[in-house]
């Protein structure tokens, strides 16, 4: 009898999307069939400490209560010598000078459920690559490019995929002369409203819609609290269209969905707190527009070398009916109200099947990597 697949689900993290990660991870954990998988829960605190315990312990409940006493500190080595978690302990009387490492649990696949910095941006993926373990989702490059809104827009431009007019502001520029930055933005983008976004964050954290000069300055100051790179986008009168992509070399695309925000735009509150935004599935679009959305989503997915999954977001101008790509999310929200799983459910793949397929794609991707030669013989 084959052993159950040993899955490590990682959640939390050093990110402004910490709470969203816990909500997504809880849904994924509930969907993992105990007949198929042996699951180890791994939580990362806001301070960056990795905590876990023996299999069967509900780490996520302890994280939700901010109660860590029953948990132990763990690490994942940047070496393929041991694919799994190692338990860290400090023998009594030794202070912090001595750290003893012992094996805790071997793992077959890691399922990262970390939204935002230090989880969705390629940093964790780099560690997993060094450990040579299979993991769900995009690799280092796809994750990093998808996370950085400025680089992503530049890559889209190189592939002739349209984006709204935008510009990049550096945090030191604002600190040095905020009035000059504000004037430069107004001279470049000209028309309000404008959207101010931290370049490396998701779930609409730190985003501000600005309708005048004073709001623009406040928006820049808010964004710089979350990142040193700030993206300023031209606002358009648009519909918000989203589509889910699934797969590695031959990805498939779901039906498009449409967001009807309960607030001025699809903010963090509208996404996760008030739950009054509408998700229209499928989006009321012509067949021609549906095909255009799907085609552009696939082009964007391949352009950033994505794998496993992504949600691709678009803006559809209500006046010109032009389609603009907004962003790609390589670890999209997985809560019970999240668009990514809902789109697949409508497209014929239920939540549990979706999670299972993602794990299978992770294993296939690692198997493909094993066929690659990394050194010259002879």
Q: Enumerate residues 6+ apart whose C-beta is below 8 A from 70.
A: 53, 57, 62
What is the helix (H) or strand (E) element at residue 232, kind and residue range? strand 229-234
The confidence band for 266, taking pLDDT boundaries of 50, 70 and 90, is: very low
Quote the DSSP letter at residue 269: I
pLDDT of residue 27: 97
Q: Enumerate residues 6+ apart whose C-beta is below 8 A from 227.
A: 171, 198, 199, 200, 201, 206
The confidence band for 202, taking pLDDT boundaries of 50, 70 and 90, is: low
Tell me: the pLDDT tens digits for 280-323?
999 999 999 999 999 999 999 999 999 999 999 999 999 999 99
Two structure tokens written together for 34: 């105990």
Q: What is the mean pLDDT of residues 26-41?
A: 95
Residue, of 204 and 231, whose pLDDT is higher: 231
Q: Residues 151, 215, 117, CA angle at the centre, nearest 5°?
A: 35
Q: How far apart are the C-alpha atoms of 314 and 324, rounded to whole Å? A: 6
For domain 166-234, the CATH superfamily is ATP-grasp fold, A domain (3.30.1490.20)
Tell me: the pLDDT tens digits for 45-94?
999 999 998 766 799 999 999 999 889 999 999 999 899 999 988 776 65
Residues spanned by CATH 3.30.470.20 within the chain?
146-161+237-368
pLDDT of residue 264: 61
pLDDT of residue 53: 86
Residue, of 309 and 264, whose pLDDT is higher: 309
- CATH fold for domain 146-161+237-368: D-amino Acid Aminotransferase; Chain A, domain 1 (3.30.470)
pLDDT of residue 200: 83
User: Residue 155 to residues 98, 160, 302: CA-CA distances in angstroms?
Assistant: 46, 9, 11
What is the helix (H) or strand (E) element at residue 141, kind and residue range? helix 140-147
pLDDT of residue 6: 96
Two structure tokens written together for 29: 């954990």
Residues spanned by CATH 3.30.1490.20 within the chain?
166-234
Tell me: the pLDDT tens digits for 349-365?
999 999 999 999 999 99
Tell me: the pLDDT tens digits for 150-196?
999 999 999 999 999 999 999 999 999 999 999 999 999 988 999 99
Domain 5-135 has CATH 3.40.50.20: yes
pLDDT of residue 93: 61
Q: What is the mean pLDDT of residues 327-335?
A: 94
Tell me: the pLDDT tens digits for 97-142?
667 888 999 999 999 999 988 999 999 999 999 999 999 999 999 9
pTM, to two decimals = 0.90
Residues spanned by CATH 3.40.50.20 within the chain?
5-135
Asked if residue 274 has pLDDT above 70, the reply is no
pLDDT of residue 276: 62
Asked if residue 10 has pLDDT above 80, the reply is yes
Cβ–Cβ < 8 Å for 271, 204 = yes
Two structure tokens written together for 269: 């509150």
pLDDT of residue 190: 82
Asked if residue 1 has pLDDT above 50, the reply is no
Two structure tokens written together for 6: 């040993």
């Amino acid at each position: 009898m084959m052993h159950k697949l040993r899955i490590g689900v990682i959640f939390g993290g050093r990110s402004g999307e910490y709470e969203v990660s816990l909500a997504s991870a809880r849904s994924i954990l509930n969907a993992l069939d105990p007949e198929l998988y042996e699951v180890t829960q791994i939580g990362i605190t806001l301070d960056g400490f990795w905590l876990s315990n023996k299999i069967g312990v509900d780490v996520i409940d302890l994280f939700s209560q901010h109660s860590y006493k029953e948990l132990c500190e763990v690490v994942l080595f940047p070496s393929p010598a041991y694919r799994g978690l190692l338990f860290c302990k400090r023998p009594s009387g030794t202070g912090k000078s001595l750290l003893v490492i012992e094996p805790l649990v071997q793992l077959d696949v890691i399922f990262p459920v970390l939204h935002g910095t230090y989880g969705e941006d390629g940093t964790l993926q780099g560690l997993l690559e060094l450990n040579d373990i299979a993991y769900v989702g995009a690799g280092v490059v796809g994750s990093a490019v998808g996370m950085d809104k400025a680089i992503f827009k530049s890559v889209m431009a190189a592939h002739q995929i349209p984006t709204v007019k935008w510009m990049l502001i550096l945090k030191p520029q604002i600190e040095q002369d905020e009035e000059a930055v504000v004037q430069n933005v107004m001279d470049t983008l000209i028309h309000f409203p404008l959207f101010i976004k931290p370049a490396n964050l998701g779930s609409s954290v730190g985003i501000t819609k600005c309708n005048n000069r004073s709001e623009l300055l406040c928006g820049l100051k808010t964004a710089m609290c979350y990142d040193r790179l700030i993206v300023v986008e031209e606002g358009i009168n648009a519909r918000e269209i989203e589509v889910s992509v699934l797969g590695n070399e031959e990805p498939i695309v779901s039906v498009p969905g449409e967001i009807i925000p309960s607030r001025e735009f699809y903010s963090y509150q509208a996404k996760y707190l008030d739950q009054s935004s509408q998700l229209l599935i499928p989006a009321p679009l012509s067949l021609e527009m549906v095909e255009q959305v799907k085609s552009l989503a696939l082009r964007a997915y391949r352009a950033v070398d994505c794998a496993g999954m992504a949600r691709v977001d678009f803006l559809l101008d209500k006046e010109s009916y032009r389609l603009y790509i907004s962003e790609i999310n390589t670890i999209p929200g997985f809560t019970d109200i999240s668009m990514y799983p809902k789109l697949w459910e409508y497209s014929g793949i239920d939540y549990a099947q979706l999670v299972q397929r993602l794990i299978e794609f992770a294993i296939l991707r690692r198997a493909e990597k094993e066929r690659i030669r990394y050194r010259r013989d002879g």
